[in-house]
A and B are shown apart, each in its own frame.
Chain A
């Protein structure tokens, strides 16, 4: 075959492949998937923060963190990557008080995400540990991953 034919066929095959897979694909990133990943991640990191601050008596179970997520308001479908996910988190703190916080979540196409917490409730970017050192606040902003099947 002449090179021009081979090249044209290759480009057409690639274009057809992209079109076909784009049309047939479904979203790996869903509202439920994000909620299931975000809740336990926040709970684990909240316990880590409590350890830094010297607060005792909480475990991921006692916190019972629950996330409820929405992407880009009511008119946008709650699927897929994007910087416009908002998750309302509710949990129980070490004093038994119910807490609610709004998390801004950016989900990447590789199903990892970055979540930023409300600093009024979770504290600023750095916190002071029991020895008086400034350390990174684990729940101010954190990375996570949404499990997928393939």
Chain B
């Protein structure tokens, strides 16, 4: 194995490397493994292909989907389209996108019985944990960028770059609207990392890829349901789905960012708790079986 040879430059090429390979080496192998999976490549392709199709279909419809925010404006401005898509995606698509790889990345080693093979390499469990976590988060952010980019570009190219009507009825000029739409999609980064951490925790705990992928989506649904109950205004602030709706304030005439700040803190809390749970669970686990 020549994993270590490239991580740190050596004085002479023949000098034996005394250092154990770090997270970097484990990370590179996790990325190689992920890139070889059909599922991860397919998801990226889907994230790229689906938005233009949905935008084209919506644009062709006579009746705009006015039951969702910005739905009634889809024919008026190309910037309404990505906001409608964001409101839809927040319901279950974003948790699913976050869970497809993260829910599987630990459990796949159980499924294939490869934990022992992996841990007999000269990397520690901590290295493997961080390598897998960083791979999952990095991949999910890549999917988000592709999905958001495709949606925004499709809206602008298919519908146009007309000014957008804000949530105080004000007209938002094309350039400002683009900046706000990009910012709105960017605000989902924190809750997506939160959902990734949740999927990682479930992946470690359940050792079951199907459960690791499906459970975050179901939990997302339950949170949506809980968040739609009148009277639970404080409870819904602690849910991981609420930060996905915090972008509304950006589109007011006098923008307010209180919900965004709360959402950031809540997402960070979920991420830390879930990652800590996953880490401790993996550290203390008895891996002696297949």
Contacts and interface: CB of A to CB of B under 8 A. Distances in A.
B235 A144 contact: no
Contacts of B170: 44
B233 A25 contact: yes
Interface stretch (A87-95, A96-104, A135-143): A135-143
A18 B235 contact: yes
B248 A112 contact: yes
Q: Name the interface size band of chain B.
A: 35 or more
Most B C-beta atoms less than 10 A away, residue of A21, A45, A80, A109: A109
Most A C-beta atoms less than 10 A away, residue of B245, B248, B254, B262: B248
Q: Name the interface size band of chain A.
A: 35 or more
Contacts of B237: 21, 150
A41 interface: yes
B165 to A, nearest CB: 7
B235 A21 contact: yes
A109 B230 contact: yes
A27 B231 contact: yes
Contact of A110 (B226, B231, B245, B256): B245
Contacts of B248: 110-112, 145
B236 A109 contact: yes
Contact of B70 (A18, A138, A143, A150): A143
A71 B261 CA distance: 30
Given A112-B248, A147-B252, A150-B261, A22 B167 contact: no
A143 B236 CA distance: 21
Contacts of B226: 18
A5 B61 CA distance: 53
A101 to B, nearest CB: 15
B139 to A, nearest CB: 28
Interface string A31-51: 000000100111111001000
Interface in B225-241: 226-238
B171 interface: yes
Given A17-B238, A43-B169, A109 B258 contact: no
Contact of A22 (B66, B235, B256): B235
B234 A40 contact: no
A41 B248 CA distance: 14
Contact of B258 (A41, A44, A80, A149): A149
Interface of A: 17-18, 21-22, 24-29, 37, 40-45, 48, 80-82, 108-112, 136, 138, 141-145, 147-150
